Amino acid sequence: MPEPGAGPRADPLVQRALERAVPADLAPADERQLTTLGRAVWLAEVTGADRARWPGYFPKPGMTSGYSRVRIQGLIARRDSKHQAGAVVHLVWAGADPSGTFLDGRTATVRFTRQAGTWTPLR
């Protein structure tokens, strides 16, 4: 993994480390769709933007967490071993918390279930 504070130039290293850490186990189309959704849901989580797209995941639409300068450093989607019809997106991200402290290498997960052919985020 890159040194903390390495900035965006290190993001490809983070992505490769994630991909090597957990072998792919989803169809490529599902993985692409889930990483796109996972990125959008996580950005909504930490910035408050576009939360209305997932009212079941964000029950209080007006709330924000106050993070700024958010950047996804890497992400992968894999099967969720705890839920038979589920998947999980693992993310590494960078951003400044509400007090202004910027950190990279933050980790997060977003779980999804598949209902009627559509991936839906789960709390």
| pLDDT at 46 (0 to 100) | 93
Look up residue 61 and give its amino acid: P
Q: Domain with 38 in it: what CATH number? A: 3.10.450
For the chain, how long is the longest CA-to-CA vector? 43
Model confidence, pTM: 0.89
Residue at 39 is within a domain: yes
| pLDDT at 73 (0 to 100) | 95
Residue at 94 is within a domain: yes
Phi and psi for 108 in degrees, rounded to 5?
-160, 160
Per-residue pLDDT tens, the chain, 123 aa: give them. Answer: 666 666 787 889 999 999 999 999 999 999 999 999 999 999 999 998 888 899 999 987 666 778 999 999 999 999 998 877 799 999 999 999 999 999 999 999 999 999 888 999 998
Residue at 2 is within a domain: no
| pLDDT at 92 (0 to 100) | 95
Phi and psi for 6 in degrees, rounded to 5?
-70, -20
| pLDDT at 3 (0 to 100) | 67
Task: Give the domain range for residue 67.
Answer: 8-122
| pLDDT at 4 (0 to 100) | 64
